[in-house]
């Protein structure tokens, strides 16, 4: 998808990713270290605690946590800008019947990698993957159905708490129906729609494994669509 971005845009976005990652890692590591030192405070003499400096450990926990949140926000913003630019470059030309730039969409989304990296990155990876799906379905389907799926970052970071958790449900419902419609339009023999989300993603939570099955099916449906798009556009 980088074929849709200019060299300057790539540089700015990559710098945002790098700076955000550094801040998030330093913030998370510093906050964790401060908390651990606070537990051992009774065992260590005050003079041996390198983080006290007269302020107390709570001060440093707040500082490092603030660094983590700033880095996290910068990562999310960089990703949102990247995929907004990609959508504008990929879909707008298609709407005017002008050939879009050549690019290849990801076809290797996997459940195990998604779970592990989401845990390691404190959900950052999950936001990246789901936002990537929202961008990819726009690139694949918008020229045909004239719709636009909102970037998942906006749903998760803003609309979710404003709507008391309703916005993500609506987002998944519409996304799944849109994916299912595009699968049918392209003649891909794979069943996937909003029923898949409600049966496995929501009701399936009662048997614990349901959401994982839904996520696997979501990734498979998108991989099939992206494979087809890479060949046929």
Residue 233 pLDDT grade (very low, low, confident, very high; cuts 50, 70, 90): confident
Lowest average pLDDT, out of 58-72, 93-107, 152-166, 200-214, goes to 93-107
Average pLDDT over residues 132-142: 89
CA 148-231-6 angle, 5° bins:
60
Q: Which residue has the higher pLDDT, 189 or 94?
A: 189
What's the confidence (pLDDT) of residue 19? Answer: 84
Gyration radius of the chain over CA positions: 21
Average pLDDT over residues 108-121: 91
What's the confidence (pLDDT) of residue 62? Answer: 80
**Whether residue 150 has pLDDT greater than 50:** yes
Work out the mean pLDDT of the chain and round it to a whole number.
82
Instruction: Give the whole-number percent of the chain exceeding pLDDT 70.
Output: 81
Asked if residue 175 lies in contact with residue 137, where contact means CB atoms within 8 angstroms, the answer is: yes
How far is it, in rounded angstroms, from Cα 28 to Cα 16? 18
What's the confidence (pLDDT) of residue 87? Answer: 66
- pTM for the complete prediction? 0.73
Asked if residue 79 lies in contact with residue 128, where contact means CB atoms within 8 angstroms, the answer is: yes
Average pLDDT over residues 130-159: 87
What's the confidence (pLDDT) of residue 227? Answer: 94
What's the confidence (pLDDT) of residue 41? Answer: 56
Per-domain boundaries in the chain: 1-99, 104-233
Task: Tell me how far CA of residue 160 lies from CA of 117, 166, 226, in angstroms.
Answer: 22, 7, 28
**Whether residue 173 has pLDDT greater than 80:** yes
Q: Which residue has the higher pLDDT, 96 or 232?
A: 232
What would the pLDDT profile of 8-18 be if each residue is shown by its tens digit? Answer: 777 777 788 78
What's the confidence (pLDDT) of residue 195? Answer: 96
What would the pLDDT profile of 64-102 be if each residue is shown by its tens digit? Answer: 888 888 887 887 788 778 767 776 766 665 555 555 555
Q: Which DSSP string corresponds to 86-126?
A: HHHHHHHHHHTTPPPPP--------HHHHHHHHHHTTTHHH
Q: How many CB atoms lie within 10 A of CB 224?
A: 19
What's the confidence (pLDDT) of residue 104? Answer: 78
């Amino acid at each position: 998808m980088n074929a849709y971005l200019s060299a300057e845009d790539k540089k700015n976005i990559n710098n945002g990713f790098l700076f955000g990652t550094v801040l998030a890692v330093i913030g998370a590591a510093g906050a964790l270290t401060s908390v651990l030192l606070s537990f051992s405070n009774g065992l260590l003499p005050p003079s041996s605690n390198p983080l006290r400096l007269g302020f107390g450990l709570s001060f440093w926990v707040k500082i490092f946590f603030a660094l983590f949140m700033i880095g996290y926000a910068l990562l999310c913003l960089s990703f949102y800008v990247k995929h907004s630019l990609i959508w504008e470059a990929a879909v707008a030309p298609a709407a005017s019947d002008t050939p879009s730039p050549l690019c290849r969409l990801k076809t290797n989304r996997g459940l195990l990698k998604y779970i592990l990296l989401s845990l390691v990155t404190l959900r950052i990876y999950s936001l990246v993957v789901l936002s990537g799906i929202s961008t990819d379905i726009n690139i694949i389907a918008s020229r045909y159905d004239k719709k636009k799926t909102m970037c998942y970052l906006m749903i998760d970071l803003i609309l979710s708490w404003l709507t008391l958790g309703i916005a993500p449900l609506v987002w998944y419902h519409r996304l799944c129906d849109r994916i299912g419609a595009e699968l049918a339009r392209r003649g891909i023999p794979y069943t996937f729609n909003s029923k898949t989300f409600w049966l496995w993603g929501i009701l399936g939570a009662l048997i614990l494994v349901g959401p994982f099955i839904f996520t696997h099916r979501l990734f498979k449906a998108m991989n099939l669509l992206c494979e087809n798009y890479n060949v046929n556009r």
